[in-house]
Amino acid sequence: MQDLYRKIYKDPRFHDLESKRRRFSWTLATLTLFTYYTFVLIVAFKPQLFAATLSESTVITWGIPLGIIVIVISFILTGIYVYRANREFDVIAREIIDSFSTDKTDN
């Protein structure tokens, strides 16, 4: 098994896959953190923006729907990652593993 891991690690396709996956996950993580911290910073330094009501006939403030939007954005970005991981990253990983697994049966 260790031999299989070493072969996979030496394969340039593996490093390309890891590079793509890392860039993509950091991009989505950055977007999530930007959204979250923007919300928190507005609450901390300009709370009156979120304290304003949606309309004069309601007591619901802008903070509630915008807080829900922050949560929804996190779910959407997670879904985007899962979709791409299942459609692209997992397929490439399986191809790499299978290419070395077939080598093992040839011996």
- Whether residue 71 is predicted with pLDDT greater than 50 in this model: the reply is yes
The arithmetic mean of pLDDT across residues 83-106, rounded, is 85
The arithmetic mean of pLDDT across residues 89-93, rounded, is 95
Specify the pTM: 0.80
70 Cβ partners below 8 Å, 6+ apart? 35, 36, 39
The arithmetic mean of pLDDT across residues 57-75, rounded, is 95
Q: Quick check: 62 and 54 in contact, CB under 8 A?
A: yes
Question: Which position has the token pair 């692209």?
Answer: 88
- Whether residue 107 is predicted with pLDDT greater than 50 in this model: the reply is no
Q: Which of 2-6, 26-30, 32-36, 88-92 has the lowest mean pLDDT?
A: 2-6
Quick one: which of 36, 37, 66 has its CA closest to 51?
A: 66
